[in-house]
Structure 1
Amino acid sequence: MTDVGDGLATGTDLVAAAGSAVGQALERLGGRRPDLLCVFVCGGNPETIVDAGATAVKIADAGTAIGCSAGGVIGAGRGVEQVDAVAVWAAVLPGVDVRPIHLSAHRVGDALLVSGLPPRTCENEVGVLLADPYGFPVVPFVAHCNDTRPGLPLVGGLASGPVGPGSAKLFLDGVVRGGAVGVLLSGPIVGRIAVSQGCRPIGPPMTVTKAEGNMLVELAGMPADRKLRQILAALPPEEQAMVLRGLHLGVAMNEYAETHERGDFLIRGVLGADEHTGALVVGDTVDVGTTVRFQVRDGAAADEDLCEMLARLGESGDSKGALLFSCNGRGRAMFPSADHDVIAVRQTLGLDAVAGFFAAGEIGPVAGRNHVHGFTASILAVGSAPGIG
C-alpha cells in the first residue's frame, strides 16, 4: 500500500531539526521503511546545511534519498521562509522502480553535453529533478529532454544557497553532489501533475504577425506597442494598475485548440519595449503565427489559478501525498502568508503529506512539454495505480 508522510522542524540547531522532521514523517508511515526520501534545508551556513541533510538521510534509511538547500521549505501544512528549517517527505511505494539520477554537464568544444540520464524503461514514468542553477544548464537540458525523451514529465525546482553561487547544496543518498539530482519513478504509480503559473489573461488572443527572436514587432497586424495600448485603454482602472506592476505574455502551446484560456499558455515576462521600433521585448523567443495573450499576475489571480489547477488535478483521481515546488517570489511576497500554497494543496486534494521548498525556478510540464518557470507552483501528487492499493 502506498503511504506518504511529511515533517517540518525549525531551530538554529539544524541537525536536531533534521532529526525531528524525519521523525514526524516516519511516524506517519507507521514504522515502514521509506522507498523515497526528499529533504529540503534552509539555513545560513552551507556546512550546517550539509550536516542536516546527511543526518536526515541517515536516520530515515530510505531506499533512495534526494534533497537540496533552499531559501525556504514547506511541510506539515506550513511554509517557512528565510528561517533555519528542515522539511522532509517520505514515501512507501510498493512495486515502484525508484531510479536515482545524477546529471553533470561537460563542455566539448562549443557543445555542452549532459550525462547521467538513463533511458526510459516504460511509458508510465515521471522524473523529479533538483538542480543547482549556477552549476547546471537546466533550461537547455529541459528543452533537450523534451526532444530526446518525449512524453517524460519532469517536476522539480532550482536550489539556492545562503551566500549565492557555489553555496547551493544537492543531496543524493547522503552524498553532496553538483549539477542536478533526482529520481525516475516508474511502475504501478500514478503521478498526477499540476502547474499553476499564477496569471489571469487580459484582452483577446492574438496572432503574432511579425517577430524577431524575442522581439514582438506586430500583433494581429498592428505594431505591438500600439496593440498593447489599445488593450490597456479598454481595461478597468484596477486591471490597468496590475499591468503597471508587471505584464506577462501567454504563448499558446496548442495552435489547434478552439479556444485559448487559462492553462493553455506558457507564461513569459514582458521585459520592456523598444522605443525606436515599438516592439515588445519578451523573455523567450516567439514565432510568427503563434497565438499569444497578455496576462497579469497578483495574489488574487495566483490564488484563483492555483485553485483551478488543483481542482482539475483532484478530478483525475485520489492521491496519497504531494511534492510542492513553489517559487520564492510567491509565499509572503504574493500572499498574506507563506502557508498559502501548501494549505491550498492539502485542502483541495484532501492530503496530509505535502512537502517541498521555495525554489529559484520551477520545473513542470505545460501542454505536454517541460519548461523552467518563474512565479509558479509545480505539484506532483502520487498514488497507487488502480488495484494496487
Structure 2
Amino acid sequence: MAVMTSRFADGLAVGTNLVDTAEAAIRQALAGLSGPPDLVCFFICGDDPDDVGRAGQRAMAMVPGAHVIGCSATGVIGAGQGVELQPAVSAWAASLGDTKITTFALETLRADDRFVVVGLPERGSDDQVAILLADPYSFPTDAFIEHSSEALGSLPIIGGLANGLQGRGSVRLFADGEVHEEGAIGVVLGGPVSIGTVVSQGCRPIGPSMVVTRAEDNLLLELAGQPALARLEDIVSALDEDDRELVASGLQIGVAMDEYAERHERGDFLIRGVLGIDPEREAVAIGDVLEVGRTVRFQVRDAETADEDLYELLDAHVERTGRVDGALLFSCNGRGSAMFGSADHDALAVRDTLGPIGVAGFFAAGEVGPVGGHNHVHGFTASILVFSSQAAPAAGA
C-alpha cells in the first residue's frame, strides 16, 4: 500500500510476474501524489535478467512525463518494509516543482594507459546532489568516487551499487527509457530543492585513538610509535568476551575525518575493513591507504550498535532540518535479515524517526554517500537522501 503524501510516495509489490509487479508498484507510488510526478525511481529483484529488463521498460513507459531511474537488486525496500531474495519491485515518486532534474548515463572508455569515465552532465552552480546507481562488475565506482571532486567539486553523491540474483551479467540499469547492462546511471538535482544526506556506518569504537606513525601501501606498521599488531593485541586483550567475539567476526578501523577535533567518537570516522595481519612485520592490513599522521581508531559492528547509530543520526537530522517529506534509502545487503534478523529494520527506522513519508530503495552491494564533506563508497551502511520542507543545504551526516 502506498504512503500518502502531497509530494512523495512509495509503492511495493511482490510477485513472480515482474511486469505485472512493476505496474502494481508504480501505480501505488503514483496514487500517493497530489500532482504529476517529476522524478520516479524504481528497484527490481528478479531471477531472470531479461524479465527484470522487461519489467523496467514497462515501469518507465508508465510515466512518460517524468524523469526515471532504476536498477536491479537482490532486495528492495518500500511501503515500510524490505523484501530480500524474492521477486519484488519497489517504486518511489516525487513531485519536485521547479527542481532542475538531469539524468545521465556513464560509461568507461580506455584512453592510453588509463580509463576515462564519460557521460557526466555539466556541473551547474545550483546543483544540490547527484544520485548514482552503478554496476559493480563493469564500473570503477571506487575510483570514480575517489576522484569525483575533480569534476563535480563538493557536490554530494549518494546511491548504491546495483546487483542481480545471477551476479555478474545480471545487473540492469534504467534511465529515461533506456536499459543499460553495464556502467552507471543517475540523476543530478538542482535549484530550489531542500535535501540532506544521512550516512549511518553503524560502528562503535574500541580502544584509544592513535596516530599512524609508519605505513606502507595498505599496511599499518606503527601506531603511536609502536608496532600496529602489538597495539591491536593490547586493545583486544582488554575487551570483554562479547566484544572479542565481535572482533573475531569482523574487525573494522575508523579513519578520523577531522584531524583537529579534540576528541574522536562514534560518527567521527570513515569506516574501513581490517583485512588481516602480517605477524612477521607486526602489521595490520586495512582496506585503504593512509598517510603517516592520520588518526585511526579500531571499531566493531553489531546489530545493537548499528540500530543505535541509525536512530541517533536520523533524530539529529530531523532536529537540524525540521519536517521531512520523503527519502531514498540505500541499505547494504549485509544489513537486513543478516544483521538484524529482519529485512524491515532500516525501513522501519526511517519511518519511526522521519514519519509516514514516501520512502523506497534497495539492498545494495556497496553504498555511496558523503562523510566529513567527502564522497565515499561504503559497506554495511545505510545511506539516505532526505527531502525536507525547509530550505537547507545538502550536508553529510
Per-residue deviation at 1:123? 4.3
The residue aligned with 1:168 is: 171
Contact 2:6-2:33 within 8 A present in 1 as well? no
Which of 23, 30, 36 pairs up with 1:26?
30
Per-residue deviation at 1:286? 1.3
Q: Superposition RMSD on alpha carbons, in Å? A: 1.4
Which of 255, 272, 275 pairs up with 1:251?
255
Which of 301, 319, 338 pairs up with 1:297?
301
1:132 aligns with 2:139: no
Per-residue deviation at 1:254? 1.2
TM-score, normalization by structure 2: 0.95
Say if 1:235 and 1:123 are closer, same or farther in 2 by CA, change over 3 A.
farther
Per-residue deviation at 1:367? 0.3
The residue identity in structure 2 corresponding to 1:366 is: V
Contact 1:70-1:358 within 8 A present in 2 as well? yes
Which of 259, 271, 274 pairs up with 1:270?
274
* SS of the residue 2:245 aligns to: helix
The residue aligned with 1:45 is: 48
1:118 aligns with 2:121: yes
Contact 1:196-1:377 within 8 A present in 2 as well? yes
Per-residue deviation at 1:351? 3.5
The residue identity in structure 2 corresponding to 1:9 is: A
Q: After the TM superposition, which residues 50-61 of structure 1 pair with which residues of structure 2 at under 5 Å, given as runs?
A: 50-61=53-64
What runs of 5+ residues in structure 2 fail to find an aligned partner?
393-397
Contact 1:331-1:338 within 8 A present in 2 as well? yes
Aligned residues with identical type, % of pairs: 54
* SS of the residue 1:314 aligns to: helix
Which of 181, 187, 194 pairs up with 2:185?
181
The residue aligned with 1:235 is: 239
Which of 67, 70, 87 pairs up with 1:67?
70
Q: After the TM superposition, which residues 1-389 of structure 1 pair with which residues of structure 2 at under 5 Å, given as runs?
A: 3-30=7-34, 32-177=35-180, 178-317=182-321, 318-386=323-391
- What do residues 122-157 of structure 1 show as CA deviations (whole Å, max 9, x unaligned)? 245100000001111111111111233221000000
The residue identity in structure 2 corresponding to 1:360 is: A
* SS of the residue 1:168 aligns to: coil
**How many angstroms apart in 2 are the aligned matches of 1:62 and 1:205?**
52
The residue identity in structure 1 corresponding to 2:159 is: G
The residue identity in structure 1 corresponding to 2:351 is: R
Per-residue deviation at 1:298? 0.9
Contact 2:369-2:383 within 8 A present in 1 as well? yes
Which stretch shifts more, 291-300 or 2-11? Answer: 2-11
**How many angstroms apart in 2 are the aligned matches of 1:251 and 1:146?**
19
The residue aligned with 2:395 is: none
* SS of the residue 1:316 aligns to: helix
**How many angstroms apart in 2 are the aligned matches of 1:269 and 1:353?**
33
Contact 1:35-1:92 within 8 A present in 2 as well? yes
* SS of the residue 2:163 aligns to: coil
Contact 1:34-1:61 within 8 A present in 2 as well? no
Per-residue deviation at 1:220? 0.8
What runs of 5+ residues in structure 1 fail to find an aligned partner?
none
The residue identity in structure 2 corresponding to 1:169 is: R
**How many angstroms apart in 2 are the aligned matches of 1:156 and 1:386?**
22
Say if 1:62 and 1:297 are closer, same or farther in 2 by CA, change over 3 A.
farther
Contact 2:6-2:32 within 8 A present in 1 as well? no
**How many angstroms apart in 2 are the aligned matches of 1:213 and 1:119?**
35
The residue identity in structure 2 corresponding to 1:29 is: L
Per-residue deviation at 1:386? 4.0
Contact 1:33-1:61 within 8 A present in 2 as well? no
**How many angstroms apart in 1 are the aligned matches of 2:231 and 2:65?**
56
The residue identity in structure 1 corresponding to 2:328 is: L
Per-residue deviation at 1:372? 0.5
